[in-house]
Structure 1
């Protein structure tokens, strides 16, 4: 069984992870951390009390407990330090927090190699969202004019979402960079056409009521194609999270994207 430590345990995603780990027969919860400490990790999520309490000092907890895996759903401004702390203790981070820069990912890759400890980052752990990205990459070979609309709850801190950026990056692998729309188009309001990723436009919506949703819209002569994925609750991410926790120790260096763990 894989021993797991959950960081950001008291947040909404953290609590969903706590519950999923405790209910998975191949995973063992050995510890948790959050700025709000003290709660029993079983009682916190409506399961029987287990005596594993939420702690507040990440480095001290990892040093004492020595888990194999740390699952992190915290915030973009702290996730990098959390990951580097885990790798320094030879604990494999499985990261769902988005917002890491390319420079930070490069530093994580180096630290994973130096510490001989694999790391895993996924912009989205929903298997349906991964299929959306894979299918979008295939479609872009034949319909290269594409725009992305991502919709999330209004407490999400980064925009565009990591899923949207990863989708655009995968499409860019098979699509020649080119500007879309009329060459003389002008925005009457700055940002009206969204963010630009190698000529593709990405639009971010933030409203209460949403969880995580994305549309990839392709346009062609006399036709359009829309691929959409909807996460209706946080439980939709848990099969992917648990899969990554089980497989990360068998990887090397830094792996990005749940598609790397699936067979197509």
Structure 2
């Protein structure tokens, strides 16, 4: 039985992850964390009245009272790195879906987990279909170097571009390298009209209510085009990947970045 805590349990992704852990016979939920929570126990919430699981408001208090194997984090970018570092320092394997980590932060965490021989996972996207979408896009870039990425998310998402879009762009860039696209004399009449630039390709972010998580990778070539798209219509689509991550980090001896490393 893998003992798990969920940080950010009152958010939409955190709540979905909490329910997944409770329903999975391989897991035991030993605590949840949210500094803004008013509850002391999950059973104070209508959907969890039959449970007896402590709610923690400070991470330091959590590690004094419970000994989890895995730390699931669906919080916000400004605290996710501190949470992940804290988990590693306390010998807890992180499974992180919060985005916004810098390259140096990820590199530092990998180095530290190697030293501790502690497994961990940071994944910009936990949907299996999204992982396949990124892999297919990287393969297509061998033949279609001209590409733009459009990612669409709900209007409460804090970071742009999404971690998935950045990861996709990185994977494409590994294949095609830097490639300047479009007319070199192009001029934006409104700043930002052409989106963010990554190694010559453009990334466009859409934020609207009603959306969950969607990404389209649009390739163009002489006389033809190719579109690779993934849609998550419900946050339950991420839970297969989260559960897989919780199991696999128990076998790893360092942190990895990207769910594709576990498939």
TM class by smaller structure: over 0.9
Which stretch shifts more, 18-27 or 103-112? Answer: 103-112
Q: What TM-score, normalized to structure 1?
A: 0.95
Structure 1, residues 117-157: CA drift from partner, whole Å, max 9, x if none? 22210000011111100110111111111000000111111
Q: Aligned partners of 1:89 and 1:120: how far apart in 2?
A: 16
Shift of residue 65 of structure 1? 1.0
Name the structure 1 match of 2:228. 227
Matching of residue 3 in structure 1 with residue 3 in structure 2: yes
Structure 1, residues 197-256: CA drift from partner, whole Å, max 9, x if none? 101100000111111100000001111111111111111111100110011121122201
Structure 1, residues 84-138: CA drift from partner, whole Å, max 9, x if none? 1111110001000000111211221222123332221000001111110011011
Q: 1:197 to 1:137 in 2, by over 3 A?
A: same
Q: Aligned partners of 1:121 and 1:46: how far apart in 2?
A: 29
Query: What is the DSSP-based 3-state SS (H/G/I as helix, E as strand, rest coil) of the residue aligned with 1:117?
Result: coil
Shift of residue 48 of structure 1? 4.9
Check whether the contact 2:145–2:179 (CA below 8 A) recurs between aligned residues. no
Query: What is the DSSP-based 3-state SS (H/G/I as helix, E as strand, rest coil) of the residue aligned with 1:173?
Result: helix
Q: Aligned partners of 1:91 and 1:138: how far apart in 2?
A: 35
Shift of residue 9 of structure 1? 1.0
Query: What is the DSSP-based 3-state SS (H/G/I as helix, E as strand, rest coil) of the residue aligned with 1:193?
Result: coil
Shift of residue 183 of structure 1? 1.3
Consecutive unaligned residues of structure 2, counting only runs of 5 or more, are none
Name the structure 1 match of 2:125. 124
Query: What is the DSSP-based 3-state SS (H/G/I as helix, E as strand, rest coil) of the residue aligned with 1:78?
Result: helix
Give the 5 Å matches for 1:48-67.
Answer: 48-67=49-68
Query: What is the DSSP-based 3-state SS (H/G/I as helix, E as strand, rest coil) of the residue aligned with 1:18?
Result: helix
Matching of residue 252 in structure 1 with residue 253 in structure 2: yes
Give the 5 Å matches for 1:1-264.
Answer: 1-35=1-35, 36-38=37-39, 40-41=41-42, 44=45, 46-262=47-263
Q: How many matched pairs? A: 262
Which stretch shifts more, 105-114 or 38-47? Answer: 38-47
Check whether the contact 2:42–2:49 (CA below 8 A) recurs between aligned residues. no
Check whether the contact 1:21–1:27 (CA below 8 A) recurs between aligned residues. yes
Check whether the contact 1:63–1:89 (CA below 8 A) recurs between aligned residues. no
Q: What TM-score, normalized to structure 2?
A: 0.96
Q: Aligned partners of 1:45 and 1:199: how far apart in 2?
A: 50
Shift of residue 43 of structure 1? 6.2
Give me the CA root mean square deviation: 1.4
